[in-house]
Amino acid sequence: MKALHGGERQILKIKLQKEQLERLNNLLEHQEGIEFQFLGFVLNLQTGSLRDQVFHDRRQTEFDAQVLSVLLSHYIASKPSPTTSILIKFTKLPGAYAYEKTFLQRAVQPIAKTFGQKPADLIEAAKLLGGKALTFGDSSVEMSTLTGIPIVFIVWAEGEFPASATVLFDESASNYLPTEDLAVLAELTASRLVRAKN
């Protein structure tokens, strides 16, 4: 991964070959132009360059780019299918039991901890990253990640019981990424929501 320096905005190169970028471009064909925006990132589908529109922490951006390189290399092998609008819990994904504990620790609990005191902050954080508000729980949002993989975060405020959160996927998510990768994508999304709040 090569870092290019242009002013304060760092541009990183995703590790994908030309053929892989072409396949990725086909998967994201509904996008206009050569740039695909998701979670506050802008990915150039011709050059593979990635820039973070929201945060400017070089070390974190480099780490995120490494994670995305792996996720995108798996995503390009997917079999696209329309979303079903049927939301399912992580545990309903194939083989999820093997990753459930880590998923709860890295994707669910940080959301409950960060937004449980003031759930409305989840909506503001999501808007910064291109998400939209929903009407579940005390606060909820849908985050557009990679095409075909929306992820829904729901928060219930702390009150009589401790704050809690749920992360849901469209039933078709497994057509795009294996369960382990879906867990990583949700973790990345949760991490950026927490950073957006802070």
Would you state the structure tokens that stand for residue 149, as one six-digit string?
């993989």
Predicted confidence (pLDDT) per residue in 57-96, tens digit: 888 888 999 999 999 999 999 988 899 999 999 999 999 9
DSSP 3-state of 15: coil
Identify which of 116, 136, 142 has the alpha carbon closest to the alpha carbon of residue 197.
116
Q: How far is 28 from 185, CA to CA, in rounded Å? A: 17
Instruction: State pTM to two decimals.
Output: 0.91
Are 179 and 99 spatial neighbours (Cβ–Cβ below 8 Å)?
yes
* Tens-place pLDDT, residues 114-127: 999 999 999 999 99
Kindly list the distances between the CA atom of residue 85 and the CA atoms of 15, 127, 134, 168, 189, in Å, as whole numbers in the listed order: 32, 21, 13, 11, 19
Structural domains of the chain ordered from first start: 3-75 (no CATH), 87-197 (3.30.310)
